[in-house]
Amino acid sequence: MDTTGAGALIKALEDVGCEVIFGMPGGAILPAYDPLYDSKIRHVLVRHEQGAGHAAQGYAQATGRVGVCMATSGPGATNLVTPLADAYMDSVPIVAITGQVARSVIGTDAFQEADIRSITLPITKHSFQVHDPADIPRVIAEAFMLASSGRPGPVLVDLPKDVLATATTYTPPKLALPPRPVLSPVQIRNAAQLIGSSKRPVFYVGGGVIRSGAAQELRKLAERTGIPVVTTLMARGAFPDSHPLHLGMPGMHGTVPAVAALQRADLLIALGTRFDDRVTGLLPEFAPHAAVIHADIDPAEISKNRKADVGIVGDCRDVMAALSAVITRKTDLTEWWNYLGGLVTTYPLGYDWPADGMLAPQYVIERISKLAGPEAIYTAGVGQHQMWAAQYVRYERPGSFINSGGAGTMGFAVPAAMGAQTGAPDRTVWAIDGDGCFQMTNQELATCAAEGIPIKVAIINNGNLGMVRQWQTLFYEGRYSNTRLGTHQRHPDFVKLADALGCVGLRCEDQSEVDGTILEAMAVRDRPVVVDFVVGQDALVWPMVAAGTGNDEIMAARGIRPLFDEEE
């Protein structure tokens, strides 16, 4: 087929199954927008390229497919840097397509030239700059393959304008996913033996289990062995919160039973997880009595932070299926469960209502979870509200919680919700956002309004950069330097802002109105809805392991250190 580089690009995207692109046109990428005009691929015109990148991430995580974003050269491309870094940290499969200045002027500081390949080298899995239009279909196929195979991640395709404009013939790309790694039978046997002889084992489950679609296998293996499960921030939903074997989230703001299970274990079965510092606390004091089985598709993660006694390179789904096949009997874990069960009873998640009579933020999130249910998708920004969204929403299925874990990118929630809703139009999508985060990316609500993407946004408006304020409360003697936002004084007025952006704006300040307001928001189906939940500013996220301390110092609340006191 005779076409141009641009025509080949759009045709190749169609052929690899791309159904939506989040992007914004501009000089260098303009040739690509012409064939896109006639394509069956949907284009969502964002208001800022960062929104396009996070939307691609939200789409990818809601659907399990590759998300695509597109931007012009220079500032368009550099606006994608944050989402690329975010996707790299959280292993999200996205392909970013950027325009570039013409080949003849690359390297001359031409108008809107930025060396985006070099800029993004440490935050992309791979990148391409195409110099021959005939290569475009192959490069697009490879980019999709690289983004989604092995450990997923972001791939950049940089396209000089003249390459897009040059005539070429189209050859359909071949999409061949590389085979999954073959498991070592010896390591599987060694792992099974360790599991069989352990007295205090725990499944330490990370986001890799969600990426590999292994939730079913996890449930089977957990039920077969009766071993307790903890799910990290990136793995919320990989195992049902309602399941009796589930102890919740470990880490800095994890539950006491989940943290205790890791600290007191004699065996960690780590699946698709990377021993992140927010989970381990002070590394030398992490899980001091435990042997470690570590399964991950990325060999570079195994023994990176904590030495594995048995390392298994493989896809989590294959690893768990193989383990299920060789483990036939339950070991007696009565004593272990007696200990953990005691903690579950003594230290459930809980919160106090603010003394000043304002709304408890945790209550708002609890009610959204109750009324929207486990079939909804929840996204979060970064801060206190994110931790409460991880703690107080009850997740029952993988892909139902989408947040920025590794990078901690404020402003993630709204554009990620937009992408998730685009990929899952029949689900209710709630963005649980902070008043600080919301002000970074709320312009994408104009996109949602214009495109008919009816997301719901719950602003947990505590008037402050709450998480930073929490650290000031605990570690800086309450010296609140530059954390007050003025959002309680209506700077800005979120209801009016929502209205101006083409959304329904609601406000809720009283406990008696919470359910009614959530239901009112859920009844709106033709437009996005923003609810300004005005909540108290002094609520703190508990439990907490202070940065730089060991997990044994976990505080269930201020001054209450259950594990530390246990030892004395």
Partner 1 sequence: MTRHSLSLLLRNEPGALARIVVLFSSRGVDVESLSLAPAERGDLSRLDVIVDLQPGRTVVQLIKQLGRVVDVKNVVDRTHDEAIELGA
Which of Mg ion, partner 1, ligand TPP, none has residue 517 at its interface (CB below 5 to 8 Å by kind)?
none
Q: What is the CA radius of gyration of the chain?
A: 24
**Under rule CB under 8 A, residue 304 binds partner 1:** yes
| 49 carries an active-site annotation | yes
Detail the DSSP E strand segments found in 397-522: 401-402, 429-434, 456-461, 504-508
| 112 carries an active-site annotation | yes
Q: Measuring CA to CA, how many Å separate 463 from each of 137, 327, 493?
A: 49, 52, 12
36 versus 414: smaller Cβ distance to Mg ion: 414
150 versus 341: smaller Cβ distance to partner 1: 150
Q: Which of 25, 35, 51, 434 binds Mg ion (CB under 5 A)?
A: 434
Q: Which of 79, 129, 232, 551 binds partner 1 (CB under 8 A)?
A: 129
- Of 121-129, 253-261, 351-359, 445-453, the segment contacting partner 1 by CB under 8 A is 121-129
Task: Write the DSSP symbol of residue 501.
Answer: T
**Residue in 161, 217, 444, 470 annotated catalytic:** 161
50 versus 462: smaller Cβ distance to Mg ion: 462
Q: Report yes or no: 37 and 59 within 8 Å, Cβ to Cβ.
A: no
| 440 carries an active-site annotation | no
Q: Which of residues 394-413 bind ligand TPP (CB under 6 A)?
A: 408-410
Count of residues making up the chain? 568
Q: Which of 166, 303, 331, 473 binds partner 1 (CB under 8 A)?
A: 303
Q: Measuring CA to CA, how many Å separate 39 from each of 31, 42, 140?
A: 14, 8, 16
| 533 carries an active-site annotation | no
Which of ligand TPP, partner 1, Mg ion, none has residue 299 at its interface (CB below 5 to 8 Å by kind)?
partner 1
Structure-block tokens of residue 464: 């402050």
323-357: b (≥16 Cβ within 10 Å) or e? bbeebeeebebeebbeebeebbeebebebeebeee
Q: Report yes or no: 565 and 553 within 8 Å, Cβ to Cβ.
A: no
Quote the least distance from Cβ 82 to ligand TPP, whole Å: 7
Number of residues that bind ligand TPP (CB under 6 A): 19
Q: How far apart are CA 112 and CA 30, in angstroms?
A: 13
Q: How far apart are CA 273 and CA 271, in angstroms?
A: 5
Q: How far apart are CA 256 and CA 421, in angstroms?
A: 34
Instruction: Please name the helix (run of DSSP H) or strand (run of DSSP E) that holds residue 45, with its range, or none.
Output: strand 42-45
Which of Mg ion, partner 1, ligand TPP, none has residue 284 at its interface (CB below 5 to 8 Å by kind)?
none
Q: Which of 62, 313, 467, 501 binds ligand TPP (CB under 6 A)?
A: 467
Quote the least distance from Cβ 468 to Mg ion, whole Å: 9
**Under rule CB under 8 A, residue 122 binds partner 1:** yes
Return the half-sphere exposure (C-beta side, CA atoms, 13 A cut-off) of residue 524: 24
34 versus 493: smaller Cβ distance to ligand TPP: 493
**Under rule CB under 5 A, residue 466 binds Mg ion:** yes
Quote the least distance from Cβ 549 to partner 1, whole Å: 20
Q: Scanning the structure block, which residue is given the tokens 């993407």?
A: 453
Q: For the window 416-455, what string marks contact with ligand TPP as x by the rule CB under 6 A?
A: ------------------xxxx------------------
Q: Which of 186, 300, 325, 519 binds partner 1 (CB under 8 A)?
A: 300
**Under rule CB under 8 A, residue 121 binds partner 1:** yes
Hey, what amino acid is at 516?
A: G
Query: Backbone phi, then psi, for 163, in 5-degree steps?
Result: -70, -35
Q: How far apart are CA 376 and CA 431, in angstroms?
A: 11
Quote the least distance from Cβ 90 to ligand TPP, whole Å: 14
Which of ligand TPP, Mg ion, partner 1, none has residue 482 at its interface (CB below 5 to 8 Å by kind)?
none
Which of 398, 447, 389 lies closest to 419, judged by CA?
447
Return the half-sphere exposure (C-beta side, CA atoms, 13 A cut-off) of residue 307: 5
Coil/strand/helix, residue 21: strand
Annotated catalytic sites, by residue? Answer: 49, 111-112, 161, 467
Contacts with partner 1 by CB under 8 A lie at 117-118, 121-122, 125-127, 129, 146, 151, 298-300, 302-304
Contacts with Mg ion by CB under 5 A lie at 434-436, 462, 466
Contacts with ligand TPP by CB under 6 A lie at 381-385, 408-410, 434-437, 460, 462, 464-468
